[in-house]
Amino acid sequence: MVDVSTAFIAFSVVILFGFFAEFIFHRFHIPDVLLLIFFGILMGRDCLGYFLPPSLKSTAPIFTTFALLFLLFEAHSTLTWSPSFGALARALR
C-alpha cells in the first residue's frame, strides 16, 4: 500500500515533468508524449523501480477516474453545438 504523501509526491513529480515536457515541445519540437513515455519507462519496474505494478494496484482506479474526468472536461470545453446538431439532424434522416 502506498502512503498518501508518497502518492501526492509522485503525482506532483509527474505533473511537473509534464509541464517540463510541454516546454521542451514548444522549444525544440520534440513530442511531449514521447518524453512522458520515456519518463514512465524510467520510473517503472524495468529501470529504477519506483513504481511497481503491485504498489499501483490500490491507486490505479483513482488515477483513471481523474484522467477520464479531465478528458471529458476538455472535450466538453472544446465542443461546439451547431455542428453536433447538424450531424444529429442528418443522422436521423
pLDDT tens-place string over residues 39-63 = 888 887 777 777 777 777 777 788 7
Q: Does 1 score more than 70 pLDDT?
A: no
Task: Decide if 55 contacts 2 (C-beta within 8 A).
Answer: yes
Provide the whole-model pTM.
0.57
pLDDT at 34: 92
Q: Does 27 score more than 90 pLDDT?
A: yes
In percent, the amount of the chain with pLDDT more than 70 equals: 97
What distance in Å separates the CA atoms of residue 67 and residue 61, rounded to the nearest whole number? 10
pLDDT at 6: 75
* Residue 12 φ/ψ, nearest 5 degrees: -65, -40
